[in-house]
Amino acid sequence: MESLPELVGTVHIIMGPYRGNPIALYMCQEESACRISPRIYPWNQTVGTGETPNKAAADFEAKWKQTDLADDMYTGPHWEGGIKPEKPKPVPPPKPASPPVAKTAAAQDTKPPLPKSPAPPEPPQPAPEADDATP
């Protein structure tokens, strides 16, 4: 059974230099969904739906911005009763690809590193000169 419409907010539409009366936004709550929409033609075509009033309000705002009204032709929607539109969570950017950890067979067939060469031999030391004169 559908509930009676409940006033949940307003939108002010500005036509030319005049500011019009506010247009009421009503919510009807069903068992598994909420619907928010104005009740005046031609704007009653815009209907926000969601599982909760906050999700329905966010859906209504997104759809309202897609109507043929320019941003400077309206103010709102202004929500009452503690409704705060739930914006969808931002999608995290993809992580950069990391280099492969496991070595392939082709990478293992490379030449092994050359062993370090031994230290160069020291030059021979000259023998001490022998003394020819003996006492």
For 9-63, write each residue's pLDDT tens digit.
888 888 766 667 788 888 888 888 888 888 888 788 888 888 888 888 888 888 8
DSSP classification of residue 16: T
Q: Where are the alpha helices (DSSP H) in the chain?
A: 53-64, 105-108
Whole-angstrom CA distances from 78 to 2, 15, 41 are 24, 18, 19
For residues 50 and 56, the answer to whether their CB atoms sit within 8 Å is: yes
- The residues, ordered by sequence, that sit 6+ positions from 80 with a Cβ below 8 Å of its Cβ are 7, 8, 9, 10
Structure tokens at 104: 């392939």
Q: What predicted TM-score, i.e. pTM, was given to this entire model?
A: 0.58
